[in-house]
Structure 1
Amino acid sequence: MTQELYQKAIKFAGEKHSEQKVPGTNANYLLHISNVAMEVLLAYHFDNSFDIDFAIQVAILHDTIEDTATDFEEIKQTFGESIAKAVQALTKDEKLPSKEEKMKDSLTRINALQKEVGIVKIADRITNLQTPPRHWSKSKIVKYYEESKLISSTLINKNEYLNKRLESKIAEYKQRIEALQL
């Protein structure tokens, strides 16, 4: 992996997400982005059969279209079409009526691209499977759990290390749900 590609992507993402916080915290959103990138780097350590340069850039940029004013064209011009397509696949289509349809559509688009895109999605979900925020309703917590299982089953053959790690995080999340007596 070249540090120049990493630095270019992290600077871009840092500027785009500069005002965004990790939900429920005062931490800058770069914390989430760096955690997703770390998951991808660890996966590469265990199985280097994927393009780490591509995967890390996508990991760092994965929320720029969905969460900022950045659009497909800006990513395409700055990082190339394949990275822009990957980030677009990781972006939920807001024109679809339900959260479930948005996720299924995104997973279909992810599976149509290089396995690195699925690796980033798995890493993103691993990072997000923390204790549910206090303001989440019981139904939202359960839906997030079910959605996580869908991601796991849909992206099952992307990276053995990350697939096992996601399964473990889903099991921990289920225990948290049970501990909350939901």
Structure 2
Amino acid sequence: GDEELGTRFLRMIDEFRYPENGASTSDIREIRRMKARIDDERLPHGADRNTHTKLGRGALTDIEWTVQLLTMMHAHEHEELHNTSTLEVLDVLAEKRIIPPEQVRILREAWLFATNARNSLVLVKGRRMDQLPGPGPALAQVAGAAGWDPEDYQGYLEQYLRLTRKARQVVDEVFWGEQSMEP
């Protein structure tokens, strides 16, 4: 597309991405409402919320919504948050101690593992997929594509569940927690 048009568009929406005084309490409430609705509506019928790499509990979108909300809340104070890279923004969140470094570590590990799992699904299935298969040969293939011993597919699944469960705890506290989200 037209690079100049893209640049103008990004400048135009900066006031929404990086509010001048940070996200207001009503903005935060509305963002939470929107995410709750999307969580209910977007998960495909029959999908397992525990092992869906994109829309699952503690998976990619949970982490990305949390990072984006923190960006909206704090980018007016920290220019380094004017960034669309989830991993780079996580670095800034830790460096500026906007959230504890341990929470950043948990979100980063889960994001990287879920991204690797999602990419491994594409390698195995030959098309974009977000749902990890249940225990068995298909999961062994995904585990192998992710760099694990295919015979340890159960360990792979347990690691995914452990990391996303911890990430969901951080998301529950940081994204959904009323007290911790005050601007």
Normalized against structure 1, the TM-score is what? 0.29
Normalized against structure 2, the TM-score is what? 0.29
Structure 1 or 2, whichever has the larger Rg, is: 2
